[in-house]
Amino acid sequence: MRISVTDIKQKKSKSEKIVAVTAYDYSTAKICDTSGVDMILVGDSAGMVMLGYSSTIPVTVDEMLVFCRGVVNGSKNALIVADMPFGSYQPDLSLAFSNAVRFIKLGCNAIKIEGGREVAPLVRNLTQNGVPVMGHIGLKPQTSPLWEGYKIQGKSCNAAIDLLHDAMELEKAGAFSIVLEMVTAESAEKISKAVSIPTIGIGSGNKCDGQVLVLHDLLGLYDDIKPKFAKRYADSHTLFSKAVASYANEVKSGGFPDPTHTFSMPPEELKKFEEYLLTSLKTGEKERDGDRQSAI
């Protein structure tokens, strides 16, 4: 059975670390789903990784739904959380709920929205209406670049207190977990102990209740940005580049496809086809000769 929101919450009480991966399509979701991943986050980072945007800001709900559909179809076990893109929930509660419902009806199990105390009323409204919500504080990729850029969060006492209050208000509002992005390890540890819901860290130290990485980062496939916090467990970019280059060289040289990658006719059928061609060619030559004579 698919992991539920309740299962995720109970992992904290059992001191079980939560494994989350951000993925965007059917094939990679299948890999994650069979590799011990508890949660697949369909992040709006798909805009950068899959569509080549310079940030997550341009991503639309319709684009996110396409990525979510692939992950839903490719996963049977992991909890699926969909990122609500910028502008899809901030304006009013009605818009937020209608957009959230689109993800839930598609097959996602929860949605994620960025923000702390300022979005707590929205989180409360969504959860009271049956939509599980994951919070996201610390670095907020949808808005942080507009104000301060990509900076480490929780470095000062006051900043850490603000993050703590954000986390506590999200918990009170009904969020089932909170992503802590690029928060100092010390702040993340204190926040994780202060709330009863799981914290999922990304660049926030190992004292969070779980961790999330973008699949393309941990595979070394996305090469445009290399975050310090993203450990590369494989060099897929180099591996894939070599494979495609080898394919291109073999096609150009005539080495691919070889007989092992080719289908053949039965000899008797080939003989019939060759005889047909000989007869057709002779008939065609006579017809062309007749046409030339007529023209003269």
**165, 174, 168, 88: which is closest to 126 by C-alpha?**
174
Q: Say how far apart CA 105 and CA 187 lie, in whole Å.
A: 36
DSSP secondary structure letter of residue 84: P
Q: Is 291 left (phi over 0), alpha (psi -120 to 50) or beta?
A: alpha
68: phi then psi, degrees, rounded to nearest 5: -65, -40
Determine contact, residues 60/31, Cβ cutoff 8 Å: no
Q: Say how far apart CA 200 and CA 284 lie, in whole Å.
A: 74
C-alpha distance from residue 260 to each of 27, 134, 255, 256, 264 (Å) = 26, 50, 11, 10, 10
- Name the token pair of 32: 């994650």
Q: Sign of the CA dihedral 16, 21, 22, 25?
A: negative
| Cis, bond preceding 257 (omega within 30 deg of 0) | yes
Candidates 181, 186, 268, 287; catalytic one: 181
Q: Say how far apart CA 285 and CA 222 lie, in whole Å.
A: 58
Reported in sequence order, the residue ranges of the chain that DSSP labels E, i.e. its strands, are 18-22, 39-42, 79-83, 110-112, 133-138, 177-181, 199-202, 210-214
63 is catalytic: no
Question: Active-site residue numbers?
Answer: 181
